[in-house]
């Protein structure tokens, strides 16, 4: 039995993880999908697939907490499934800290699979580009399932730049809870639907006496602002990077315009088998 543990801020990683579970089922390999919220969850299965979105060239804090909480010495094989907005090799070192923690506990790290999915911060991809990303991920995920079912996989060999970026950007992770306290709700837009309060994986948003309160546990998953039906949530000093509203993954991927930023890297990724 394989346990697929997913932290997903805005749903991209969850989509890929569910596709992996289905691809494993097609191969007759049983897998159960569990959502990781704040990382305090426990894992019972021997084989684990840990799924996360890349944040600042690293794994998000809830996934780090989850790995720190795993029992040492029980053994087991681990694969990573990650999603990222950029098809850059700079993301290659994102599992390094998870790997270090897990190896110390005696886990056998077998491989990593990475899929490009649309940005939930920085800028908005077009729906056609998002559809192309999703179609590409769906095309590639069965190969990951095959590798996992066979107990195989490969790990990226991060270059010096990727290592440097991930070390530098760990500072960014310390900034998230500080910035999270600066989140605010535009009352003139807010529908009081409480979606942000109910969906925050960290339980960091409260509504008290008619006011929204953002605590100190923000991991910058952007779920609150991305999922706000009124686009009423400002995300602190990085508000200029806010992306709001779900992507429509059903658009015609053939109509996706070339992505201007990192164009060659995206093209290479989309054309690879
Ligand atoms: C705080 C934050 C930092 C991010 N940093 C990176 C990054 O370093 N590299 C990258 O390619 N994408 C980055 N992204 C984009 C996400 O990895 C990407 O959109 C991912 O698919 C989101 O997955 P989710 O919907 O499961 O949360 C970042 C997103 C957020 C919210």
* Å from CA of 114 to ligand 1 middle: 12
> Which of 5, 118, 119, 238 to mutate to test ligand 1, by most ligand atoms within 8 A of the CB atom?
119
Give the predicted TM-score (pTM) of the model.
0.98
According to DSSP, residue 259 is labeled P
* Å from CA of 144 to ligand 1 middle: 21
How far is the first Cα of the chain from the last one, in angstroms, to the nearest whole number? 28
| The pLDDT of residue 273 | 74
- H helices present in 150-257, as ranges: 160-180, 195-199, 223-227
Q: Is 55 in the pocket of ligand 1 (CB under 6 A)?
A: yes
> Which of 4, 33, 121 to mutate to test ligand 1, by most ligand atoms within 8 A of the CB atom?
121
Chain centroid to Cα 238, Å, comes to: 19
Q: Is the separation of the CB atoms in 17 and 49 below 8 Å?
A: yes
* Å from CA of 68 to ligand 1 middle: 22
Q: Is 220 in the pocket of ligand 1 (CB under 6 A)?
A: yes
Q: Is 13 in the pocket of ligand 1 (CB under 6 A)?
A: yes
Q: Is 56 in the pocket of ligand 1 (CB under 6 A)?
A: yes
Phi/psi region, residue 123 (left: phi>0; alpha: psi -120 to 50; beta: rest), is beta
- pLDDT, tens digit, for every residue of 83-128? 999 999 999 999 999 999 999 999 999 999 999 999 999 999 999 9
* Å from CA of 188 to ligand 1 middle: 29
Residues paired with 3 in a beta bridge: 32, 48
> Which of 7, 8, 54 to mutate to test ligand 1, by most ligand atoms within 8 A of the CB atom?
54
**Which domains are seen in the chain, by residue range?**
2-161 (3.40.50.360), 175-241 (3.30.70.20)
| The pLDDT of residue 42 | 95
**Nearest atom, ligand 1, residue 220 CA:** 1
**Nearest atom, ligand 1, residue 87 CA:** 11
Q: Is 11 in the pocket of ligand 1 (CB under 6 A)?
A: yes
Q: Which of 27, 28, 32, 30 is nearest to 17 (CA)?
A: 32
Residues paired with 34 in a beta bridge: 5
Query: What is the b/e burial string over 35-60, where b = at least 16 CB atoms within 10 angstroms of the residue's CB?
Result: ebebbebebebebbbbbbbbbbbbbb
- H helices present in 27-150, as ranges: 61-69, 96-104, 127-149
* Å from CA of 120 to ligand 1 middle: 6
Burial class (CB in 10 A: 0-12, 13-18, 19+), 184: middle
Q: Is the separation of the CB atoms in 113 and 51 below 8 Å?
A: no
Q: Is 94 in the pocket of ligand 1 (CB under 6 A)?
A: no
Q: Is 117 in the pocket of ligand 1 (CB under 6 A)?
A: yes
Tokens of 53: 């979105």
Q: Is the separation of the CB atoms in 201 and 60 below 8 Å?
A: no
Beta-carbon contacts of 47 under 8 Å, excluding residues fewer than 6 positions away, are 1, 2, 3, 76, 77, 78, 79, 148
Q: Is 10 in the pocket of ligand 1 (CB under 6 A)?
A: yes
Farthest-apart Cα atoms in the chain, separation: 55
Phi, psi of 102 (to 5 degrees): -70, -40
User: What is the helix (H) or strand (E) element at residue 35, kind and residue range?
Assistant: strand 31-35
Q: Is the separation of the CB atoms in 128 and 27 below 8 Å?
A: no
- pLDDT, tens digit, for every residue of 226-258? 999 999 999 999 999 999 999 999 999 999 999
What residues in the chain have per-residue pLDDT under 50? none
């Amino acid at each position: 039995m394989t346990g697929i543990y997913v932290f997903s801020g805005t749903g991209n990683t969850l989509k890929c993880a569910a596709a992996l579970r289905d691809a494993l089922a097609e191969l007759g390999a049983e897998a159960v999908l569990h959502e990781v919220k704040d990382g305090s969850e426990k894992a019972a299965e021997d084989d684990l697939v840990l799924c996360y979105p890349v944040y600042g060239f690293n794994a998000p804090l809830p996934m780090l907490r989850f790995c720190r909480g795993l029992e040492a010495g029980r053994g087991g094989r681990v694969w990573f499934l990650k999603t990222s907005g950029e098809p850059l090799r700079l993301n290659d070192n994102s599992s390094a800290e998870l790997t270090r923690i897990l190896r110390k506990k005696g886990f056998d790290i077998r491989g990593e699979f990475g899929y490009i999915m649309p940005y939930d911060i920085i800028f908005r991809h077009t729906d056609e580009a998002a559809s192309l990303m999703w179609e590409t991920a769906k095309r590639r995920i069965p190969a990951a399932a095959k590798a996992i079912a066979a107990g195989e996989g490969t790990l990226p060999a991060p270059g010096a730049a990727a290592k440097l970026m991930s070390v530098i950007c760990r500072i960014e992770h310390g900034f998230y809870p500080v910035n999270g306290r600066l989140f605010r709700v535009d009352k003139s837009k807010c529908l009081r639907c409480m979606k942000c309060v109910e969906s925050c994986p960290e339980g960091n948003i409260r509504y008290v006496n008619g006011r929204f309160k953002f605590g100190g546990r923000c991991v910058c998953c952007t779920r609150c602002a991305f999922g706000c039906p009124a686009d009423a949530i400002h995300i602190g000093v990085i508000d200029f990077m806010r992306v709001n509203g779900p992507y429509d993954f059903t658009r015609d991927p053939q109509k996706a315009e070339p992505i201007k930023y990192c164009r060659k890297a995206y093209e290479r990724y989309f054309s690879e088998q």
